[in-house]
Structure 1
Amino acid sequence: MRIILGSIYTFLLCFIILLLNSPLSALAADFYPKTVQSQLKLATFDVDATPPVGSSLTYDPMINSWDLGLRAKGIVILGAGEPIVMCSVDWIGIANDSQDEFKRIMAEAAGTIPSRVVVHAIHQHDAPTSDFGAENMLKTAGLSTLAFEGSYARDLIQRLGQAISKSITSAVPFTHIGTGQAEVYKVASNRRILGPDGKVKYTRTSATKDSVIRAAPEGLIDPMVSLISFWNNDKPLAVLSYYASHPQSYYRTGISNPDFPGIARFMRQLAVPDALHIHFNGAGGNLTAGKYNDGAKENRLILAERLADGMKRAWDNNKRNPVSPASVKWSIESVALKPAAGIENLEAAMKTQTSVFLSNNLSKLVWLKRLEAGKKIDISLLSIGNARILHLPGEPFVEYQLAAKAERPDLFVAVAGYGDYAVGYIGNAIAYSQGGYETGQASGVTAEAEGILMKAIHKLLTVKSK
């Protein structure tokens, strides 16, 4: 009996060994989840985000659309754990409950969780805003929902979900990422010009007509445009660009348009048509094109050409490196920023303030209530090969971007601002003692934001990205 059992055991062992080394094992592996997850794939999506005429843009009723419409573009990374979704929208901002809903629907479509989805705005001013919490607050108070009317935003969310679901069915392998950067000449300038007393003397707006203010030095900026591209061997699939500046040449026209970053993106799409081009605005809260733009409409093309030129040179500098699922990591630090004094007074001001004031500030009140309910804002980092992409909320000052890059000079670090738009401007600590528009009522946080954000950035880039 023992001999028979031993023979059976030996036979089964030999059969298993033969099976594992046979062509059938490759067929079986196609159905084994871990093997499926061993290959990185990329899906891309591109959706029209232009609302219909008659809708409310952030500051004005929409009377027409431009030659170039607004877009919502993004990628889905598959094969490195739960899918990762990154989306950029040609809107001024997406805040609070709207962030939640965008992420929820997009996560469902991608088969992932909301914390592995980021939605950023490029911050063009002739474009919509979205905050379902603000919309509900105005409705509850019996007031017009103004720019926060959310019908079109809900439609866009559903179409994004459909586009993501469809894109995943045609996802393609990606084997390499490319990184490249180049200086952009004569676009960004620091908007906060200090006087001899160390206080803000002038604010250089997007279109600065005063020649004296334009003549002031460029100031602290990040002059580099950073490109991270995804490749299937030698075929480019997607190009993500990052540049820090307010993206306006002129606005308050009632005509929705993607302004000069959208034009530059379109130029690069024509130049490299095989890859989807997706642009993210960096930490440019205190940067504008004001030194180089007096508001003349011809400057929109000039600024676009300068940005596109930088993008081209960054593309030409591209260095491609292989990547594997093991080299892809998603990390999060959730932060509770300190609210500025007086935000609670916005509730009483809703019935008396202008629509422009409410468009700029009401999301701060919604955020305060969410904060009091225990909700935090996620700071996230995508690590992929030698590249790191940091995702920040609000309108962060360029100091955060420069600090993030300095944190890891051994890596290629890109920064996207304008995630959850709720808190408005996020200055560095000293800026709150210098005065100026950005760190006054336009900021929903205090000088303590620097310590909180920098702690999260340091942890993400030095601990969680390993």
Structure 2
Amino acid sequence: MPTDHHHPHQTKQRDSNVATLARAWKSLRIHLLAKVATFDLSMTLLLAVFLLGWLPIGNVEGFAAEPGSIQVATFDLDVTPPVGSMMAYDPVRRHDELGLRCRGLVIVGAGQPIVLCAVDWIGIANGAHDAFRDALATAAETTPDRVAVHCLHQHDAPRSDFTAEQILHHAGATDLGGFESSFQRDVLQRLSQTVTAAVPHAQTITHAGFGTATVEKVASNRRLLGPDGKVKATRYTACGDPELRAEPEGTIDPELSCLVFYNGTKAIASLTYYACHPQSYYRTGVPSPDFPGIARIIRGQDVPETMHIHFNGAGGNIGAGKYNDGNKANRLVLAARVADAMKRAFDSAERFPITADLISWSVAPVALPPAPHLDRDQLQATLENPSSPEAQSAPANLAWLGRCQSGHKIDLACLGVGNVRVLHMPGELFVEYQLAAKKMRDDLHVAMAAYGDYGPGYIGTEIAYGQGGYETSQRASRVDKSCEHVLMDSIALLLGKAE
């Protein structure tokens, strides 16, 4: 087994010494360069070479890196809303033993830093998604296009949409509901501080690993088709109808993927990906990470020295309804099944040496066409009539439509780690996109994180928009059916399969 070349205590002491020296030299350099103007030209050049040569420009302060190596800094923040604040559907009544987390990592050494972030909220949309990426980019000293922010989509959790909030303010609304964002802005400030503090403690990564495992009896397709090819029923994540639970699983991706970063034999971070709506039960008034978050907690207890970060895959049309009748005891049953797959994928991960040249980050900005039913004048009229049944969704619909009409593009991204590719996608994406991406590059290990920018809502396949059902209804989806071609072309580009 490969081992770390440095004793852990020596490494920690060395990194501390380097950080102290770096700060001292930075302070001295600023002071002396301010005095340089009083010297003659030859002394100026000499001091410039001396001072600028000591600390390599562009290196992250706080640790020394081997040439060609990468480093990973992890971060973890409590993002549980306070009692009395509004979540996506209900105000917080109380807290229980669990809370909501914002976790991620910063990859340093492969060009500008790369930031991956997963949040236990229902969704972060539009201007809020921009703000989170901007804040993380500033904290990690990188650019927003090298930052991916995703939610796990738990329902007893907050939403965040600064654009919708602004629309309500302009309309003179006094009740902002779940769009009131003072807590979310506080989280942004604390998250920036957390990441800034984490980066100097980045650890050298010697190896990466990738493993998969089949998740048993969790995921099932929500959209049950009749003989005519239309959706006859929706099997939600909690399904009390035994006839619907008896229907086949349908199209799912049963595979949970696990990407691990190691320092020698120690796993620094474990990133898992699995496509499924995460609700066992909700509308309790108690913030909950639900069964995927509990699975993550279980893994944290099993392997406490590793940061466990979970991403929801393309689970827009996937839930646990076949295996969950709504009995509250099922939350732990589902969590145990996911945790078991996380363990098996982690334990079976195939390790390989990793250097900076094996890390890549690609971005494909896309303009997703808005749904044809979105009409600005109608939405504005709805917004001004709070008693309308559609008034609650009007701010988010107006926010998304305005972004589209302004020419805004969403960044699709792909992280490359050796022969691993992780796609970072927006919205409540259908699982068919994930399956198609894996099939497109079956010579690589492909994983997917969806629920990035939450603005588009559900993103179905083209055929799904003619099949009916909740997910592609006007209530749920804000994009046109032609999105399939836009997304599949960009996925092919990111995976190196564009024609």
Is 1:89 paired with 2:123? no
Task: Specify the SS of the correspondent of 2:251.
Answer: coil
Partner of 1:458: 492
How far has the Cα of 1:354 moved from its partner? 7.0
TM-score where L is the length of structure 2: 0.85
Partner of 1:435: 468
Partner of 2:95: 65
Is 1:348 paired with 2:381? yes
Matched ranges for 1:131-142 at <5 A = 131-142=161-172
**Runs of 5+ consecutive residues of structure 2 not aligned to the other structure:** 1-52
Check whether the contact 1:41–1:172 (CA below 8 A) recurs between aligned residues.
Answer: yes
Distance in 2, matches of 1:187 and 1:401, equals 17
Distance in 1, matches of 2:391 and 2:415, equals 34
How far has the Cα of 1:230 moved from its partner? 0.6
Label 1:341 to 1:46 Cα distance change in 2 as closer, same or farther (>3 A): same
Task: Specify the SS of the correspondent of 1:338.
Answer: coil
Partner of 1:389: 422
How far has the Cα of 1:66 moved from its partner? 2.5
CA RMSD of aligned residues (A): 1.9
Is 1:129 paired with 2:159? yes
Partner of 1:274: 305
Distance in 2, matches of 1:153 and 1:252, equals 20
What amino acid is aligned across from residue 311 of structure 1 in structure 2? M
How far has the Cα of 1:407 moved from its partner? 1.1
Is 1:147 paired with 2:178? yes
After superposing the two structures, state which structure 1 stretch, 354-363 or 184-193, moved more: 354-363
Label 1:33 to 1:113 Cα distance change in 2 as closer, same or farther (>3 A): closer
Distance in 2, matches of 1:453 and 1:52, equals 38
Is 1:108 paired with 2:138? yes
Is 1:43 paired with 2:61? no
What amino acid is aligned across from residue 438 of structure 2 in structure 1? K
One of 394, 399, 411 as aligned partner of 1:366: 399
Residue by residue over 1:310-340, the C-alpha shift from the partner in whole angstroms, topping out at 9 and shown as x without a partner, is 1111112111111111111111111111111
What amino acid is aligned across from residue 405 of structure 1 in structure 2? K
Distance in 1, matches of 2:210 and 2:70, equals 18
Label 1:332 to 1:305 Cα distance change in 2 as closer, same or farther (>3 A): same
Label 1:414 to 1:290 Cα distance change in 2 as closer, same or farther (>3 A): same
Partner of 2:211: 180
Label 1:352 to 1:303 Cα distance change in 2 as closer, same or farther (>3 A): farther
Label 1:355 to 1:301 Cα distance change in 2 as closer, same or farther (>3 A): farther
Partner of 1:168: 199
Partner of 2:43: none
Is 1:445 paired with 2:479? yes
TM-score where L is the length of structure 1: 0.91
How far has the Cα of 1:350 moved from its partner? 2.0
Distance in 1, matches of 2:89 and 2:183, equals 16
Label 1:95 to 1:54 Cα distance change in 2 as closer, same or farther (>3 A): same
Residue by residue over 1:287-330, the C-alpha shift from the partner in whole angstroms, topping out at 9 and shown as x without a partner, is 00001001110000000001111111111211111111111111
Check whether the contact 2:369–2:404 (CA below 8 A) recurs between aligned residues.
Answer: no
Check whether the contact 2:110–2:360 (CA below 8 A) recurs between aligned residues.
Answer: yes
Partner of 1:10: none
Matched ranges for 1:245-264 at <5 A = 245-264=276-295
Is 1:416 paired with 2:435? no
What amino acid is aligned across from residue 490 of structure 2 in structure 1? A
Partner of 1:22: none
Distance in 2, matches of 1:369 and 1:65, equals 36
Label 1:282 to 1:355 Cα distance change in 2 as closer, same or farther (>3 A): farther
Distance in 1, matches of 2:58 and 2:316, equals 44
Residue by residue over 1:408-449, the C-alpha shift from the partner in whole angstroms, topping out at 9 and shown as x without a partner, is 111111100100000100001110110001101111112101
Residue by residue over 1:260-301, the C-alpha shift from the partner in whole angstroms, topping out at 9 and shown as x without a partner, is 001000000111111100000000000000010011100000
Check whether the contact 2:382–2:388 (CA below 8 A) recurs between aligned residues.
Answer: no
Label 1:145 to 1:356 Cα distance change in 2 as closer, same or farther (>3 A): farther
Check whether the contact 1:192–1:203 (CA below 8 A) recurs between aligned residues.
Answer: yes
Distance in 2, matches of 1:307 and 1:122, equals 14
Label 1:276 to 1:357 Cα distance change in 2 as closer, same or farther (>3 A): farther
Check whether the contact 1:58–1:359 (CA below 8 A) recurs between aligned residues.
Answer: no
Check whether the contact 2:165–2:395 (CA below 8 A) recurs between aligned residues.
Answer: no
**Runs of 5+ consecutive residues of structure 1 not aligned to the other structure:** 1-27
Residue by residue over 1:146-198, the C-alpha shift from the partner in whole angstroms, topping out at 9 and shown as x without a partner, is 10101010010111110110001111101111100000000000000000010
How far has the Cα of 1:38 moved from its partner? 2.9
Partner of 1:209: 240
Residue by residue over 1:332-352, the C-alpha shift from the partner in whole angstroms, topping out at 9 and shown as x without a partner, is 111111111222232221244
What amino acid is aligned across from residue 45 of structure 1 in structure 2? F
Partner of 1:159: 190
Task: Specify the SS of the correspondent of 2:495.
Answer: helix
Label 1:33 to 1:123 Cα distance change in 2 as closer, same or farther (>3 A): closer
Partner of 2:341: 310
Q: How many residues align?
A: 439
Label 1:292 to 1:357 Cα distance change in 2 as closer, same or farther (>3 A): farther
What amino acid is aligned across from residue 453 of structure 1 in structure 2? L
One of 312, 324, 328 as aligned partner of 2:359: 328
Identical amino acids, percent of aligned pairs: 54
Distance in 2, matches of 1:248 and 1:78, equals 35
Check whether the contact 1:58–1:128 (CA below 8 A) recurs between aligned residues.
Answer: yes
What amino acid is aligned across from residue 285 of structure 1 in structure 2? G
Distance in 2, matches of 1:326 and 1:379, equals 22
One of 258, 273, 285 as aligned partner of 1:242: 273
How far has the Cα of 1:359 moved from its partner? 5.6
